[in-house]
Amino acid sequence: MIQFLFTGFTLGSIYALVALGFTMIYNATGIINLAQGEFVMLGGLIMVFCTLILKIPMVLGFVITLAAVTLIGAIFQRLAIHPLKNASLITLIMVTLAGSILFRGVAMFLWGKDPYMLPAFGSQKPIQLWGATLQPQILWVLGITLGVVAGITYFFKRTLFGKAMTACAFNPLAARLVGISVGKMVFVSFGVSAALGAIAGAIITPITLMEYDRGPLLALKGFSAAVLGGLGSAPGSIAAGFLIGILESLGAGLISSGYKDAIALLVLLLVLWIKPSGLFGSKEESELKKF
């Protein structure tokens, strides 16, 4: 049982990070980035490339991966999203979808369809804790995730830049009037979301491997968490991410492992159908937001 919980928290970390990425872009731009899962995938695969092919030490590889994927996210925003910012909703959805296909295509071209493995960050010896056997990587995942969450919270609450981004989310016009460059905020939000995804990809690959088409399912589950937590609420996304991770883990262990992916998806559908404002959002607030 404890085993399931730990697995759940591990998975949940990833979903939380992905959900955070969704929330960030949504807050800055009002759109859902369907390519979010691909940032995770790229994070994992680029890390593999750095560590196994280029034989770069892991820490450096991590930094390079982060930089690379952040750059990809920012470029994507500039080249594909920005020109279409006044286009119809369907077009916007399709663009992020196209981006996700493109990234997947590039990944398939560069790395083929096989899954890749990363060595664990620290020791490989399993730890015994409270009756469960854990890979040490799990602690890395949890630790890094908590670190990221703390960092993001600090960023939004304490730094001027972070507060400016929050202002943009609430009222772009007013933000512009006080001199905040909304365009830059949007640009940064994509970069940060990409970084979040990359981190998630890098830390989870030692445990679950990574292949070129992991993206869509991850994105769906991450989005599930984002909506469950109340789209636009960062703490909500994180909490919901862990919740879904645990639900999935318990479901896989106790009910059936074949349908485990369907659990998160079912949660997604139920939340959208019944209470789209999620657990922590308010109904009025969700109606005020663009979507």
| Residues within the interface to another protein (CB under 8 A) | 31-32, 34, 80, 83-84, 87-91, 93-95, 97-106, 108-109, 112, 216-217, 220, 223-224, 227, 256, 258-259, 261-262, 265-266, 268-269, 272-274, 276, 284, 291
Q: Which is closer to another protein, CB of 56 or CB of 98?
A: 98
> Would you say 148 or 227 has its CB closer to another protein?
227
Minimum separation from the CB atom of position 94 to another protein (A): 6
Minimum distance, C-beta of residue 137 to another protein, in the bound complex (Å)? 27
Contact 137, 206 (CB under 8 A): yes
Task: Kindly state the smallest distance separating residue 159's Cβ from another protein, in Å.
Answer: 29
Q: Smaller CB distance to another protein: residue 250 or 266?
A: 266
Of 113 and 158, CB closest to another protein: 113
* Smallest distance, another protein to C-beta of residue 107, A: 9
Q: How far is the CB of 255 from another protein (least distance, A)?
A: 12
Residue among 77 and 145 whose Cβ is closer to another protein? 77
Least gap, CB of 65 to another protein (angstroms): 21
Query: Which CB atom, from 212 or from 242, has the smaller least distance to another protein?
Result: 212
